Structure 1
Amino acid sequence: MHARVRSQIPRLTLLAVAAGAALSLASCGGGDDDDDDLDPALVSQGQQIFRSETFGDETFFTDVLRLHEPVATVDPTTALAVGLKVDSEALPPEVVAGIQDGSISLTDPATTIALLKLNAVVGLKGQVDANNNLVRLGVTCAICHSTVDDSFAKGVGKRLDGWPNRDLNVGAIIALSPALPADVKAVYNSWGPGMYDARFNIVDGGTPFHGDGINKPSVIPPAYGLRGIDKTTFTGDGDNIAYWNRYVAVTQFGGHGTFTEPRLNLNIKNGTDDLVSDKLPALQEYQLSLNAPRPPSGSFDVAAAIRGQQLFNGKAQCVTCHSGEHFTDANDRLHPQSDSMALETAPTHADRSATKQYRTSPLRGIWQHPPYFHDGSAATLEVVVDRYNTRRSLGLSATEKADLVQYLKSL
């Protein structure tokens, strides 16, 4: 064998091993692509519910908050600035051409009305009359738990359902309501992008009240990668996705239905009909079909990630809680508040839950949704690892911390 050829064999073998490891690491974060256990018809129905169903919440957002009034005066540029997204696949070719050549203005509120008529604003459902007046406005699950790939422009592209919209300033949008007093608007305006307080914002009998009276928003979580995780709410309250979906539809959207939680002293009924219950099975089936996104090609160092995986399972002790193929022990136990790595000051997020404990969040797709921890206090994975290293006294070196970050980026 030629000497030069022989000299290449170890190098090629190493490259093959690294490539295989890269595929293995990337597949860890891709979720379960086997959809055989899902009902395709139910998934399709659930997608429509996720994207378009308001559960009758126009009663709250239109009749009580009167949000249709300020929204009708907002131009697309302003709407995009507060994190609302536009589904490019809902745009007819002539609208696409008009936006591209400037004949359709993105600083004209009339364009917002036109986009709502096309059902192109992700998470918002508008009813427009014959005179192009916005007369009804509702909200869907996609408002917080869907974004776009920016393939057309920033904030405009194909839908990415299940991805948390960390650009969305929910509080600022709610604060546009002419029906809210100034002190309540100030609370909503304090949240900032990607943050939401599902205990402060409570709707009961179609009327807003402010839950436990505490203003302590948490990051909007992803709604993907949940298949195989029976206990899904990080608050530790409910046992399945349907519990949280009912909670949000009724207590957050003001949708027509009931939600009862004695541990939180909640017994809420909105409307005289039930527009929620029969939609929960299909909605859950669709959410279970949403796999965590794989890390982009070249987004992590393969060799470092391999070393980081060993640390994850060993010295760094991550696997103690982030265990199994889903990187969570959520199905097995709840955690006391003392286990939290968030920098929350009293009361903690767990204090406001029904169990006073919390569940470990799964790590698949973690590269996609900074900031981290329930309070969003870690801007990067580097901050996450450094905090664990300090508070758990792990003794990780700078190189080890860097390797662990690369592994997390591979999930």
Structure 2
Amino acid sequence: MRSLVFALWLSLLPGLVHATALEEAPWLPEAAAYRLSLFMGNLAPVPWQKLRDNWENPAPGAAPSVPAFDFLSEEQLNTVRAALKATDKQALFEATTRVVAERMLESLDKAEETLGTAQARQHLLRAQGLYRAFADGIQAGDKRAFTSLGLAWLEMTSSLGSNGVLGAGKSSSEESTFSKAKTVVATYVKANYALQSFSERIKLSPVPESIAKSGKQVTLPTTLPPGSNIADQKQLPMLILQFEEAGGDEALLPLVAYGDMLFDSPEIFGGPARDLGITCSTCHNRSDVNREFFIPGLSSHAGGMDVDGSFFNPMFNDRKDDHLDTPSLRGIRFTAPYGRDGREASLRRFTRNVIVTEFAGAEPTPFMLDALMAYMREFDFLPNNKVDREGRLTQHASAAAKRGENLFNQPFEGMNGKSCASCHVPDQNFRNGQAYDIGSSEPSFPGGTASTFDVPTLRSAKFSAPYFHDGSLPTLGSVVDWFNTTKNLGLDAEARADLTAYIEAVGDAEEPYQVFEGRETEFRLAFDELTTFATTLNTLLPLQDKANIEVLVNTVAPDLKADASTMKNLSAKSEVYQLASLLQAVGDAVANDKWSEASKNWQAFQALQNEIDERMY
């Protein structure tokens, strides 16, 4: 019975944090809008227009994609609208909490009224979907109630009855059982969520009112709002590392391997990034851009976010809604200065700033920064046979691109006699290391000075859309159009197409995405990467480097378990779990200064890995 209850609650709870981000089930429109209200209501400043949009338009993560307002009665709709108009967090919390609770209770009533029909199950599923908006608050604040409510939901589901299969296994609905279970849920929801007033909530959360009023301290797990996507993009970018292209092996480069691990580790960040499993690789997927990364309230569109808001590090909050497009890190050793505005000449200092300032991590050790630098400096641009080493087009480029090359090098009066190549210098990786105000942003106040932004490389740029510092232009063609309009270049449609063809040729690649076929699978890629990370124990254990071993184990062991859970080869699944356990045993032994035991567990890990290496795929 307990396992059934647990399975039910997994479907009701908001997205749980995993070592490897999983796709979240869609939310009902009212529940999605409500959870977005809680999340955005805790931002500073509160983005009131976005909150209105979440109710008036289809909310991110909602299914069906219908405005939440479409499901509300006129009275409920007016209540929420009044709270939004008042820009009052507490009023918004009270109105939206009450409305979602009322909608849930209405669905429960309809399920009971239609018991014995197919509609009853649909109404109950809708009630469960709305209850999901409160479930993690109850679980965190009132565990006993969470268990009893879980049993009640299960009893309601089982008492609906079933038509069976071809008549076999048919069962009738049980009105008495359903009614008793419904009373348990309805009574709790009425007492905690369907209220006219609530205790003041400094931080908005779905914690039950009885718990909030008691003053009990409740720690909720860190969650993201509906519609968030922090998983790897579906088309994995091809990762080009210098040493690999030269035939090297990362397992023989411990500093690079440890830096690779840190790049994939949430352990270097503070909460909430660490709690959510966010890593450098989350945004800079395989050295490129995760074009599907999106967090409502922080991202204006996929592929970036406001990195200096209140969510990740309140101390760094500039109180501006200033989404930044995530830059590609390909060829990063060539692309100083760093930051969209070119504020930092040193990659090392910039990386430290990301860890500590943007994501509230602890001060990284010099060794950690050494390792990250060693790894990131191996990032290279995608090979492209359309451009030679001097940045000139080759015979593989199209005729349109070659016409565009002439335009790219042509001075324009609208650009003060400069050409595109004046800033995007072909033999300098199509950049010049400078920052300019090109008119892509406005001063923060009348008469103020507009921000300058660094000149981005055009190499591999075809695959890093959208463009500009804020990701406001979706295609390279739209970038050409923007310059043509704002700088009065006077290019006709054919010339703009040629110039676009040239930039696309410069930014092209022979193999931009990882190809999986045969034995080369996503699982194998992830498993090989994790076991390579683990090889740094060959260096760290003899040094008795407790701190860095802890980071390694806390990163790799959970990811091994997560990858094991997705394995198609069921016969080897238990052995991958065993590898994760052996690695955790290494960490436990090190934590207790049992270095001999740690070495034995590491040797056992290596032996098991070698034993199953071929047959596990």
Q: 1:142 to 1:240 in 2, by over 3 A?
A: same
Matched, 1:166 2:275: no
Higher strand share: 1
Deviation of 1:227 after TM superposition, in Å, equals 2.4
Q: 1:203 to 1:51 in 2, by over 3 A?
A: closer
Partners in 2 of 1:31 and 1:364 — Cα distance?
Answer: 13
Partners in 1 of 2:406 and 2:466 — Cα distance?
Answer: 25
Matched, 1:196 2:305: yes
2:268 is matched with which residue? 55
Unpaired runs of at least 5, structure 2? 1-238, 387-395, 413-418, 507-617
1:150 is matched with which residue? none
User: Is contact 2:269-2:356 (8 Å) kept?
Assistant: no
2:281 is matched with which residue? 142
2:487 is matched with which residue? 392
1:329 is matched with which residue? 432
Deviation of 1:346 after TM superposition, in Å, equals 4.0
Partners in 2 of 1:253 and 1:49 — Cα distance?
Answer: 14
User: Is contact 1:233-1:239 (8 Å) kept?
Assistant: no
Deviation of 1:238 after TM superposition, in Å, equals 0.9
User: Taking CA–CA contacts closer than 8 Å with sequence separation of 6 or more, which of the two structures ends up with the larger relative contact order?
Assistant: 1
Q: 1:302 to 1:380 in 2, by over 3 A?
A: same
Superposition RMSD on alpha carbons, in Å? 3.3
Q: 1:218 to 1:224 in 2, by over 3 A?
A: same
Q: Which has the larger radius of gyration?
A: 2
Q: 1:310 to 1:43 in 2, by over 3 A?
A: farther
1:291 is matched with which residue? 380
Q: 1:138 to 1:167 in 2, by over 3 A?
A: closer
Partners in 2 of 1:371 and 1:328 — Cα distance?
Answer: 18
User: Is contact 1:196-1:217 (8 Å) kept?
Assistant: yes
User: Is contact 1:166-1:193 (8 Å) kept?
Assistant: yes
Matches within 5 A, 1:103-252: 137-146=276-285, 161-169=286-294, 171-172=295-296, 187-188=297-298, 191-201=300-310, 208-209=314-315, 211-252=317-358
Report the identity percentage: 28
The code of the aligned residue for 1:140 comes to T
2:459 is matched with which residue? 364
Pairing partner for 1:319 from 421, 446, 456:
421
User: Is contact 1:202-1:252 (8 Å) kept?
Assistant: no
Pairing partner for 2:444 from 322, 344, 347:
347
* SS of residue matched to 2:462: helix
- Map Cα deviations across residues 327-364 of structure 1 (whole Å, 9 max, x no partner): 1111xx332x3x24x3x34439xx899xx533211111
* SS of residue matched to 2:309: coil
* SS of residue matched to 1:396: coil
Partners in 2 of 1:404 and 1:196 — Cα distance?
Answer: 30
State TM-score, norm by structure 2: 0.36
Deviation of 1:233 after TM superposition, in Å, equals 2.5
User: Is contact 1:249-1:276 (8 Å) kept?
Assistant: no
Matched, 1:410 2:511: no
Higher helix share: 2
- Map Cα deviations across residues 88-116 of structure 1 (whole Å, 9 max, x no partner): xxxxxxxxxxxxxxxxxxxxxxxxxxxxx
* SS of residue matched to 1:166: coil
The code of the aligned residue for 1:250 comes to V
User: Is contact 1:255-1:276 (8 Å) kept?
Assistant: no
The code of the aligned residue for 1:334 comes to A
